[in-house]
Amino acid sequence: MTGSKAQIEAVLSELEHLELPRGLESLSAPRSEAATILRNLARRLEEGAGAPLRLALFGPTGAGKSKIFNSLLREVVSPAGFRRPFTTRPVYSIHESHEVLASHMDGQTRIRRGDFWREIVLIDTPDFDSVEARNREAAERVFREAEAFLFVTDAQKYADQSTWQYLERIRAEGKPVIIVLNKVSTEGVARDFQSRLTARFGAAGLGADLISLDERPIDDAALLPPDDPVLARIRDRVLEVFGSSEERRASLVAAFRTDMERLLALWSASAERLQGYLEGIARLGARIQERFASAAAGLMTEIAPPIDQDVKAEVYARVLERIQQIDILRYPRRLLALPFEGIKLLAAKWWPGRGASRHRSPEEVSREKAFARLEARVLSLCDETLADFQAEGRCPELLSSGGAAALRLPHDELAAVFQAREREFRAWLDTEAKETASKLTSENKLKFILSQVIYNGVVVGVQIHTAGHFTLLEAAADGVLSPLVAKAVGMAVSSEKVGQFEKLARKEHARLLGDVLALARSKLEAHLNASAAWKGSFDGLARSMEALRSARDEFLRAYEGGSVPALGAGARKA
- Report if residue 286 sits inside a domain: no
498 falls in which pLDDT band (50, 70, 90)?
low
Judgement on whether residues 264 and 132 belong to the same structural domain of the protein = no
Judgement on whether residues 131 and 191 belong to the same structural domain of the protein = yes
Judgement on whether residues 114 and 195 belong to the same structural domain of the protein = yes
Q: pLDDT, tens digit, for every residue of 528-556?
A: 999 999 999 999 999 999 999 998 888 88
Per DSSP, the chain holds a count of helices (H) and strands (E) of 20, 7
* 562 or 226, which is more confident: 226
Q: What is the pTM of this model?
A: 0.72
Please count the structural domains in the chain: 3
Judgement on whether residues 268 and 380 belong to the same structural domain of the protein = no
pLDDT averaged over every residue in the chain: 78
Q: What per-residue confidence (pLDDT) applies to 444?
A: 57
Whichever domain contains 154, its CATH number is: 3.40.50.300
Mean pLDDT, residues 27-51 taken together:
92
Query: 141-155, 189-203, 366-380: which has the minimum mean pLDDT?
Result: 366-380
- Report if residue 439 sits inside a domain: yes
Angle value at C-alpha 84, between 166 and 28, nearest 5 degrees = 45
Which residues make beta-bridge pairs with 151? 58, 179
Sequence-distant (≥ 6) Cβ neighbours of residue 228 within 8 angstroms? 71
* 284 or 485, which is more confident: 284
Instruction: Spell out a b/e string for 444-460, using b for 16 or more CB atoms within 10 Å of the CB, else e.
Output: bbeebeeebeeeeeebb
Q: What per-residue confidence (pLDDT) applies to 479?
A: 40
Judgement on whether residues 41 and 58 belong to the same structural domain of the protein = no
Judgement on whether residues 262 and 314 belong to the same structural domain of the protein = no
Q: pLDDT, tens digit, for every residue of 502-519?
A: 777 777 777 877 888 888
Judgement on whether residues 32 and 120 belong to the same structural domain of the protein = no
* Surface-to-core class of residue 326, CB atoms within 10 Å of its CB (0-12 exposed, 13-18 middle, 19+ buried): middle
574 falls in which pLDDT band (50, 70, 90)?
very low
Q: Read out DSSP for 89-136?
A: S-EEEEEGGGGGGGGG-SSEEEEE-SSTTTTEEEEE---TT-SSHHHH
Q: What per-residue confidence (pLDDT) applies to 331?
A: 59
- Report if residue 287 sits inside a domain: no
Q: pLDDT, tens digit, for every residue of 230-289?
A: 999 999 999 888 888 888 999 999 999 999 999 999 999 999 999 999 999 999 999 999
- Residue 218 confidence (pLDDT) above 70: no
Judgement on whether residues 512 and 429 belong to the same structural domain of the protein = yes
Q: What per-residue confidence (pLDDT) applies to 322?
A: 60
Q: What per-residue confidence (pLDDT) applies to 532?
A: 93
**Minimal CA–CA distance to 498: which of 437, 427, 443, 430?**
437
Residue 187 CA, chain-centre distance (Å), reads: 58
Q: What per-residue confidence (pLDDT) applies to 219?
A: 66
Per-range mean pLDDT, top range of 40-49, 203-212, 321-330: 40-49
Per-range mean pLDDT, top range of 224-228, 261-265, 358-362: 261-265
Please give, one letter per residue, the 3-state secondary structure of 438-488: CCCCHHHHHHHHHHHHHCCCCCCCCCCCCCCCCCHHHHHHHCCCHHHHHHH
- Residue 488 confidence (pLDDT) above 90: no
**Contact call for residues 370 and 307 (beta carbons, < 8 A):** no
- Report if residue 289 sits inside a domain: no
Q: CA 130 to CA 132: how far, in whole Å?
A: 5
Sheet bearing 53-58, strands edge to edge: 108-112, 91-95, 120-124, 53-58, 148-154, 177-184, 210-214
Q: What per-residue confidence (pLDDT) applies to 342?
A: 60
Q: What per-residue confidence (pLDDT) applies to 463?
A: 34
**Contact call for residues 11 and 566 (beta carbons, < 8 A):** no
Q: CA 197 to CA 423: how far, in whole Å?
A: 82
- Report if residue 293 sits inside a domain: no
- Report if residue 191 sits inside a domain: yes
**Contact call for residues 215 and 183 (beta carbons, < 8 A):** yes
Judgement on whether residues 217 and 103 belong to the same structural domain of the protein = yes
- Report if residue 57 sits inside a domain: yes
Q: What per-residue confidence (pLDDT) applies to 419?
A: 87
Q: CA 140 to CA 56: how far, in whole Å?
A: 11
Judgement on whether residues 84 and 211 belong to the same structural domain of the protein = yes
Judgement on whether residues 129 and 201 belong to the same structural domain of the protein = yes
Q: What per-residue confidence (pLDDT) applies to 465?
A: 34
- Report if residue 77 sits inside a domain: yes
Judgement on whether residues 77 and 173 belong to the same structural domain of the protein = yes
**Contact call for residues 418 and 371 (beta carbons, < 8 A):** yes
Q: What per-residue confidence (pLDDT) applies to 470?
A: 34
Where in the sequence is the domain holding 311, given as residue range(s)? Answer: 303-533
Q: What per-residue confidence (pLDDT) applies to 490?
A: 46
Mean pLDDT, residues 120-139 taken together:
92
Give me the helices (H) in 202-306, please: 229-242, 245-302
